[in-house]
Amino acid sequence: MRPLQERGHTSQLDPEASASGTNPLRVLQLSDPHLLRQGHGRYRGRTPLAQLRHGLEQALAALEVSPDLLLISGDLCQDESWGGYVQLRNLLTDSGLTLALLPGNHDHPLLLQAVMGRHAVLAPAELWLGTWRLLMLSSHRSGDCGGWLGTGQRAWLRQRLLQESSPTLVAVHHPPLPIGDPGFDAIGLRDGAELARILSEASSPALLLCGHVHQHWQGWLGGEPGSPVLACPSTLCAFGAVQPCPLGRSEDPGGRLLELHHDGRWSQRLLRWSPWPETAAADPAA
Ligand SMILES: [Fe+2]
């Protein structure tokens, strides 16, 4: 795992280990693996652990160099089990990547902290990536499929944005605005309007990354040219796409690569791959 350095209540990638010169920092985003207690268990007809392992392999193979950070944007563990997080830990620590994890509505933040706290940066947290900082928010609210940041986290975010004017990524599981799907819009980020207000007061627009909707989606929080919002496909399965997939593969699992330039510019690339080929033998209970 790439080294992190503590900086007050924040962390930063070791500057000597980070990309140097004019090379952008690279964040690989995956989302919504929905792992289960048993590694061979199936959900929605697929084996979440095998699909995540396959997705990570496919994504890394598509990149020319290893990413500086792997961000997984929530719904890590469908059955909210200790065993599910142990599966996640075993897979991710083997990768050697620096890890940043968000809880989603299908997560148990205390179990996530207990199993992954020594191995990953967990939301809510601030992580410095060279001149960029990543503000990771937890939108998990027990008993609710929708998301909620709450007053304390919103106050922390406002304070961080006012104190530093660096280029900023904000990562949160739930999209902070409607995407145009009535089902998902009913379980979005319930204080998304407050988040939009906070971001509008910042000196420069932040880039928002989210998961939850199992599809590629892009929009603007606060209207263009507000904060760009990018939703990431799931490594497990796709839900009905609201927007066309730029790669014409809306049914496939996927992820996203972010390239963050030191002068504040950024670019992104959607990644898609074919699902890991499931077999009956993969699920003894099937
Ligand atoms: Fe999900």
Q: What is the mean pLDDT of each run of 10 residues along the chain (286 residues)?
A: 53 55 90 96 95 97 94 97 97 95 97 97 96 97 96 96 91 98 97 95 90 97 87 97 97 97 95 90 44
Backbone angles phi, psi at 12, to 5 degrees: -145, 150
Distance from Cα 212 to the centre of ligand 1, integer Å: 5
Structure tokens at 58: 């496919």
Give the length of the chain: 286
CA–centroid distance, residue 108 to ligand 1 (Å): 14
Ligand 1 center to residue 107 CA distance, Å? Answer: 10
Residues 6+ apart with CB under 8 A from 261: 22, 24, 267
**Rounded distance from Cα 18 to ligand 1 centre (Å):** 31
State phi, psi for 182 to the nearest 5 degrees.
-55, -35
Q: Which helix (H) or strand (E) holds 33?
A: none
DSSP strands (E only) in 191-236: 207-210, 217-221, 227-231
Name the one residue in this structure whose structure tokens are 């693996």.
33
Q: How far apart are CA 35 and CA 86, in angstroms?
A: 10
Top CATH class of 25-277 equals alpha beta
Would you list the domain boundaries of the chain?
A: 25-277
Decide: helix, strand or coil at residue 85. Answer: helix
Our CA angle for 212, 26, 252, nearest 5°, is: 40
pLDDT at 64: 81
Residue 78 confidence (pLDDT): 96
Q: Rounded to the nearest whole angstrom, what is the distance from the C-alpha of residue 250 to the centroid of ligand 1?
A: 16
Distance 214 CA to ligand 1 centre (A): 6
Q: What is the pLDDT of residue 45?
A: 92
Encode 260-279: b = buried (16+ Cβ within 10 Å), e = exposed: bbbeeebebebbbbebbeee
Distance 128 CA to ligand 1 centre (A): 27
Between CA 25 and CA 124, with CA 178 as vertex, the angle to 5 degrees is: 45
8 Å CB contact between 30 and 231 = no
| Ligand 1 centroid – CA 34 distance (Å) | 7
Are 211 and 235 in contact by the 8 Å Cβ rule? The answer is: no
Selection from 12, 258, 259 nearest residue 121 by Cα: 12
